[in-house]
Amino acid sequence: MKENPYHLFFKVLSTDLRAKIINLLEKKPRTVNEIVKQLKTDQSKISHNLHKLALCNIVTSKRKGKTKIYSLKKQTIIPILNLVNQHFCTYCNKKCKAKGEYKWKFI
């Protein structure tokens, strides 16, 4: 049986580390080493999670010499993240513990 595309898409976004990677890449494209340094996480974990994000085209990469530079898929992912943020800030009820913690604005 074919898996639901919504389930697959949101499953890829569902880890804290991937959310942190997305937040970093929202600001500017980065190499794996830059992400490792910023997040203070093992290189293998960062690479594994970037691979998962790339499988759904949430991130893309360009090779510059021996280095890969990762960035968000701006045509589709940035608008989706803006809608999620707007929905969250508007409709998350008062009982939601996370309300107010996340006020990201994606360009």
Task: HSE, CB side, 13 Å, CA atoms: give it for residue 11.
Answer: 9
| Whole-number pLDDT of residue 88 | 78
- Is the entire prediction scored with pTM above 0.85? no
| Whole-number pLDDT of residue 81 | 83
| Whole-number pLDDT of residue 93 | 64
| Whole-number pLDDT of residue 6 | 85
| pLDDT averaged per 10 residues, the chain (length 107) | 82 92 93 97 97 94 95 90 82 61 49
| Whole-number pLDDT of residue 107 | 42
